[in-house]
Amino acid sequence: MAGEAAIAGIPMKTTYIGAVQSGNHDGEEVTLKGWVKRSRGNNNLRFIVLRDSTG
């Protein structure tokens, strides 16, 4: 389920994490929004678990 959003007047398509995980956007650049559930790593490299309404 995708919708439309605008940042600084530029329309952007809403992309959900579930759609990215299923491979629907392979090779595409996407912008994800959500909340950080978990973070791990060190000073040089950080990994996050990002969540949205799709999990």
pLDDT at 1: 43
The DSSP element (H or E) to which 34 belongs, if any, is none
Nearest 5°: phi and psi at 4? -115, 140
- Total tally of structural domains belonging to the chain: 1
Q: How many other C-beta atoms can be found within 10 angstroms of the C-beta atom of residue 52? A: 14
pLDDT (tens digit, 9 = 90+) per residue, 3-41?
Answer: 555 566 777 777 888 888 888 888 888 888 889 999 999
Domain range spanning residue 38? 4-51
Q: What is the pLDDT of residues 32-49, one digit of tens each?
A: 888 999 999 998 999 999
pLDDT value at residue 42: 92
